[in-house]
Amino acid sequence: MIFYILKVPMANNDQLSFLDWLVILSYIAGMLFIGWFYSRRNKTKDDYLLGGRKMNPIAIGISLFATLMSTLSYLTYPGETILHGPIILAGVLSFPLVYYIVGWWLIPRFMKMKVTSAYEILEKKLGLSVRMLAIFMFLSLRLLWMATIIYVTVDVALHSVLQFDRAYVPYIGAFLTVITIFYTSMGGLKAVVVTDVTQTFIFLGGALFSIIVVSYQLGSFSAIFPSSWPEHWDTLRLGFDPLERTTLGNAILVSFSWYVCTSGSDQLAVQRYLSTTDIKAARRSFGVSLYSNIIAYILLGLVGLSVLAYFTQHPEFLDTGKSLTEQADNLFPRFIMIGLPSGLSGLVIAGLLAAAMSSLSAGLNSVSSVISEDIIKRFRRKEKSSKDQLRQIKNLSYFTGAIVLGLSFFVQEVPGNLLDILMRVVNLFVAPLFVLFFMALFIPFSTGRATFRAGIIAIATAIAVAFWGIFGITVLWIMPVSFVTGALSGVLLSLLDRAILQKS
């Protein structure tokens, strides 16, 4: 079957075939059907937000992976591999330590507290002001994240594939958002998880088929690997260096920082743990997500090498007037149109949509739950019925989608390639948010006032590194530097607070 597909003539044009459109429309119809199917099974708010706290741990693990492996990652890692080399993929070497810290230090602490929102924990430990700061960080982080996903999916990926007039970008972005809102608001977390699992197989399958197609066209799998280190790739360095963009140590550190900070503070991740039955199931879910990430990293790295080899062999297919390195982020989407057989182009485009929609659906669900639990419910005096609460959360999904769509128009103003945008916009608040949880969960003498100030210091540090490159520090060090600065500030300020209280 595979060899038959590979013998289908390549498109080599900018038009999708009828078969491609059939695959894409079938995918969209399938997502809407899943949302409708699970809409009949949500009876309470807990069903909608946490799946009744009885979700399958393997499905939850795959869902967590799919949620965080958005179109950003789907295009960033091939583009980064093409432009700077495969060093960034060495981040998987940090996974054993990540699994130990998250599985045995963070997950047990979350599971012991029967909460719906992770940020309830902060108020119990450090007061309302710290909880509100965390909510601000989370909403900023995830709204900007979803906005960036829409921008990258439509303005970078789909535009590179279909070459439509950019005047249609807002309408296509709105269509993508509305479809995602429909199946998310209908089915809740259960629909999100099931669609995430389905979408995982679609976008990983699309990456795998791309590698197979290039290998077949070049004569062998080994042909996708360069015979020597390309001149435009960064020189291979092993150590840690905040002044260098890509070293082996930097790749491991940034991956470690991101996974620990996200898993220990982000409602997207914590919501997944809380939807399982116990600590063991939650830990298993996290392990499944890490294994899925390893597979994805390997596939996306190989996609980058495959596309680099393909366009090196066929420079006539590059955009006129631009070098290979100048269009690194757009080469994978371009290959979809000119290098894949009819039908497979539709599958990989569905993979791009799947990577986007799995993240958008989870983001909409988590943001809605935080607004509902941490803002509306926290300050509302009169309790609503379960039915009214469920309706309110669904309405919040529409409200969130509208905000995200509006923010997506501003993402294009951020300079740099996709990895730079990812670090400067999407990951800006990741470490500062974890600083608050680090103080609450691991520093017994922490105070609310000190933790609040530490969070502000961490945010200021992240912004200084991201947009001003303070002390020449590269974007890959935004998270480590802002976390260390915030955590040290929090500890010192808490000690100072305690000393002042003892004297008074």
Question: What value does the mean pLDDT take over residues 300-313?
Answer: 91
- For position 419, what pLDDT does the model report? 65
Q: What is the average pLDDT value for the chain, to the nearest integer?
A: 81
Residue 70's identity, in one-letter code, is S
- Single out the residue of 380, 371, 393 nearest to residue 48, CA to CA: 393
Q: Is 413 a residue whose pLDDT tops 70?
A: no
- For position 3, what pLDDT does the model report? 45
The region of weakest confidence among 11-25, 86-100, 256-270, 384-398 is 384-398
**Which residues contact residue 220 at a Cβ distance below 8 angstroms, ignoring those fewer than 6 apart?**
none
How far is 359 from 79, CA to CA, in rounded Å? 20
How far is 457 from 465, CA to CA, in rounded Å? 12
Question: What value does the mean pLDDT take over residues 301-308?
Answer: 92
Q: Is 42 a residue whose pLDDT tops 70?
A: no
pLDDT in tens, 17-41: 788 888 888 888 887 777 677 666 6
- Its pTM stands at 0.82
Domains of the chain are 2-427 (1.20.1730.10)
pLDDT in tens, 46-91: 555 555 556 677 877 887 787 777 777 777 888 888 888 888 888 8
pLDDT in tens, 188-197: 666 667 777 7
Highest mean pLDDT among 134-138, 167-171, 311-315: 134-138
- For position 411, what pLDDT does the model report? 67
- Single out the residue of 105, 79, 53, 461 nearest to residue 232, CA to CA: 79
Sign of the torsion angle spanned by Cα atoms 301, 234, 473, 469: negative
pLDDT in tens, 138-170: 998 888 888 888 877 887 778 777 777 777 777
Sign of the torsion angle spanned by Cα atoms 286, 291, 296, 301: positive
